[in-house]
Amino acid sequence: MNIAVILKQVPDTEAVVKPDPAKPGAILETDIKFILNTYDEYAVEEAVRIVEKTGGEAVGVCIGPERAEAAIRSALAMGLSRALWVSEPDAVSADVITQAKVLAAAIKTLSPGLVLCGREMIDTQEDAIASAAAQFLDMPQVLNAAKITIDGEKAVVLREVESASLEIEAKLPAVISCGKGLNEPRYPNLMSIKKAKNKEIKKLTLAELGLQAGPAKARIAALEAPAPRAKGVRVEGEVASMVAQGVDWLMKVAKVV
């Protein structure tokens, strides 16, 4: 089975991010370490494991600027065989629905039996790529998988929602977004990292995908720092006295008791 894996490069979670005053909606990129989106690692790992079992190939599909090559290479080092990459600014800066449409067009060229992606992009905190791409690909989807079992023509997926654990059967081809707990992503060894340098990354343009840039459906007009939290109260010393002050605060300020 051939598998397409959607990839994105994002700032490391430890990064101190600041809005770029010159570019509304963008962050200052100096001093930021970029990584493969944390959840994409689960998708890559799952794809590689499935292909190791069933044959076929696992191919990365990425929208990202020039710096994104590093993230693509790290996914190749984990075992993807090659990757497709759209780096045109019109795609890179597009809203999530437009990006899903671009990804779907690139994925179509692979005729995959399965499409995997991470549960959420940790930079924009968006998790709609899987559902939106599934709609554009005319496939079913399951989000935030904790377990995937491929069973012939279908995938059996476990996921959790607020009040229940669900077992969902999806007819293949399907799009599945991958969550924590699905697997333990591997650390590529030196050999794999070296090999990844020679794997093919094919750039695709929107025109080659039969698409053209349209008006933005949504755009980030500004990035703002959240209002700082008001300075809190700190108590030290005797347990009884701290607790008494705590109860008083909970009743009078938080008003929850």
Partner 1 sequence: MAGILVWVETFNGELRKASREALGAGQKFADHQKVSLDAVVFNAGPAALAELGSMGLRKLFTVSGESFAKYSSEGYCAAVAEAGLKSGADVYLACASSLGRDLTGRLAAKLDAALATDVTEILWDKTPLSVRRPVYSGKLLAQTELLASCKVLSLRPNVFAPAQTRTGAVETVALTLADVKIRAQVQKAVAAAQGVLDVTEAEIIVSGGRGVGGPDGFKVIEGLAHTLNAAVGASRAAVDAGWIPYAHQVGQTGKVVSPVLYIACGISGAIQHFAGMGSSKFIVAVNIDKEAPIMAKADFAIVGDLFKVVPVLQQELAKARAK
Ligand X SMILES: Cc1cc2nc3c(=O)[nH]c(=O)nc-3n(C[C@H](O)[C@H](O)[C@H](O)COP(=O)(O)OP(=O)(O)OC[C@H]3O[C@@H](n4cnc5c(N)ncnc54)[C@H](O)[C@@H]3O)c2cc1C
Residues 227-256 that bind partner 1 (CB under 8 A): 229-230, 232-236, 239-240, 242-244, 246-247, 249-251, 253-254, 256
The Cα 173–Cα 250 span in angstroms is 52
The Cα 132–Cα 103 span in angstroms is 10
- Regarding 171 and contact with partner 1 (CB under 8 A), the answer is yes
Angle at CA of residue 110, ends 218 and 140, nearest 5°? 60
Looking at beta carbons only, is 197 or 252 nearer to partner 1? 252
Residue at 245: amino acid letter: Q
Inter-CA distances, 109 with 60, 61, 99, 228, Å: 12, 11, 16, 47
The number of residues that bind ligand X (CB under 6 A) is: 2
The Cα 112–Cα 109 span in angstroms is 8
The number of residues that bind partner 1 (CB under 8 A) is: 88
Residues 223-252 that bind ligand X (CB under 6 A): none
Residue at 98: amino acid letter: T
**Site stretch for partner 1 (CB under 8 A), options 1-9, 56-64, 78-86, 129-137:** 129-137
The Cα 72–Cα 134 span in angstroms is 22
142 touches, from ligand X, partner 1, none (C-beta below 5 to 8 Å by class): partner 1
Question: Which of 17, 20, 27, 38 touches ligand X (CB under 6 A)?
Answer: 38
Q: Which two tokens stand for residue 1?
A: 């089975």
134 touches, from ligand X, partner 1, none (C-beta below 5 to 8 Å by class): partner 1
Looking at beta carbons only, is 13 or 165 nearer to ligand X? 13
Question: Which of 13, 111, 125, 163 touches ligand X (CB under 6 A)?
Answer: 13
Looking at beta carbons only, is 13 or 198 nearer to ligand X? 13
Query: What DSSP character marks residue 173?
Result: S
46 closest CA partner among 179, 192, 244, 205: 179
Looking at beta carbons only, is 55 or 89 nearer to partner 1? 89
Q: To the nearest whole angstrom, how small is the minimum distance from the Cβ of residue 70 to ligand X?
A: 17
185 closest CA partner among 107, 116, 123, 133: 116
Looking at beta carbons only, is 190 or 256 nearer to partner 1? 256
**Site stretch for partner 1 (CB under 8 A), options 74-82, 83-91, 199-207, 211-219:** 211-219
Asked if residue 173 has a cis previous peptide bond (ω within 30° of 0), the answer is yes
Query: Which residues are at the interface with ligand X (CB under 6 A)?
Result: 13, 38
